[in-house]
Amino acid sequence: MKYEGMIFRPPSEADSLILQVTVGCSYNRCTFCAAYQGKRFRIKSLEEIKEDVDEVSSYKIRRVFLADGDALSIPQKGLIQILSYLHAKLKGLERVGIYANAKDILRKDVEELKALKDLGLGILYLGLESGDPEVLKRIKKNATVDQLIRAGKRVKESGVALSVTVILGIGGVEGSQSHAVETGKVLSEMDPDYVGALSLMIVPGTPIAKEIETGTLVLPTPFALIQELETMIANCQFTHCFFASNHASNYLPLRIQMPEEKEEALMRIREVLRRKDPDLLRPEYLRAL
């Protein structure tokens, strides 16, 4: 496999073959994100992609994740060619996953997303980060709350599983409460299949690192992040969703099947908040992006 630069994938794709079909992120301007800094965005040629697939075609591969940042930005015809080739070459293939941003999704109609599903696209990862319009503007998310909700709903309507990422702490101390409440509400409207909550970790050199340096943004304390988690979950109403805060950046790893385990999870979080014992939290040295 020929990879260009660092490769990122969702934690749940740890066992998947990572197939790099684009290099970098076509947007690349979110203030907190350093994932694809220095990478010039391009879509790999079908020949390059086919070579990589051919190289692994004799292995039994059940899952493939299409990297990099927003591979759904590939025009429909290209995605159909890639998925068809994967389907033809990898006999045991069960699921293909992909990152997408709201605008990539909204560029496709439900029928187009359904066509990708029929060719094996099983899960789509969308970064919401926050449901608070002010936070989205400040972090330069390049999508409004309305666009993000419409994008999430469109994915759900197509039958492709929807996994949404949110970031604890991204509203700073001042915006903490409203970030948590609004994110819970927006998640409820999207009603995704999976939610992954991360905690903001500052990467030097990013615009958000400057905000921290100058004091424009103040990071919430670990227990304030857990309070955000509590508020967010309390504001989430899901039909059927697996909510996880077990990413390495979080202080309190949880795996919650909603709605069944919501109240139990809230009780556990409230107990941690009541005791305020740092030993109950993941130690700082074990936290990572």
Binding flag, residue 127, ligand SF4 (CB under 6 A): yes
CB of 273 to ligand SF4, least distance (A): 29
CB of 157 to ligand SF4, least distance (A): 22
Selected from 44, 69, 72, 252, the binder of ligand SF4 by CB under 6 A is 69
CA gap 130, 170 in Å, rounded: 7
For the CA atoms of 185, 186, 191, 194, what is the dihedral angle to 10 degrees? -100
Look at the block and give the residue holding tokens 């079908």: 46
Q: What is the DSSP letter of 216?
A: S
Q: Which is nearer to ligand SF4, 41 or 85 (CB)?
A: 41
CB of 91 to ligand SF4, least distance (A): 32
Q: What is the DSSP letter of 19?
A: E
Q: How many residues bind ligand SF4 (CB under 6 A)?
A: 12
User: Considering only 11-19, 21-29, 51-59, 83-91, which stretch makes contact with ligand SF4 by CB under 6 A?
Assistant: 21-29
Binding flag, residue 28, ligand SF4 (CB under 6 A): yes
| Partners of 256 in the β-ladder | 243
Binding flag, residue 66, ligand SF4 (CB under 6 A): no
- Determine the 3-state secondary structure of 220 from DSSP: coil
Please state whether 136 falls in left (phi above 0), alpha (psi between -120 and 50) or beta.
alpha
**DSSP characters over 156-206:** HHHT-EEEEEEEETTTTTTTHHHHHHHHHHHHHHH--SEEEEEE--PPTTS
Binding flag, residue 169, ligand SF4 (CB under 6 A): no
CA gap 231, 155 in Å, rounded: 26
CB of 237 to ligand SF4, least distance (A): 26
Selected from 17, 23, 33, 225, the binder of ligand SF4 by CB under 6 A is 33
Binding flag, residue 27, ligand SF4 (CB under 6 A): yes
For ligand SF4, what does the binding mask look like between residues 186 and 205, x meaning CB under 6 A?
Answer: --------------------
Cα-atom radius of gyration of the chain, to the nearest Å?
A: 19
Instruction: Residue 106: count other Cβ atoms within 10 Å of its Cβ.
Output: 15
User: Considering only 23-31, 51-59, 105-113, 267-275, which stretch makes contact with ligand SF4 by CB under 6 A?
Assistant: 23-31
Chain residues 70-99 in contact with ligand SF4, contact rule CB under 6 A: 70
Q: Which is nearer to ligand SF4, 36 or 238 (CB)?
A: 36
Which tokens sit at 239?
Answer: 């039909």
Chain residues 100-119 in contact with ligand SF4, contact rule CB under 6 A: 101
- Determine the 3-state secondary structure of 224 from DSSP: helix
CA gap 41, 151 in Å, rounded: 22
Q: Which is nearer to ligand SF4, 44 or 262 (CB)?
A: 44
| Residues that bind ligand SF4 in the complex, under the rule CB under 6 A | 25, 27-30, 33, 35-36, 69-70, 101, 127
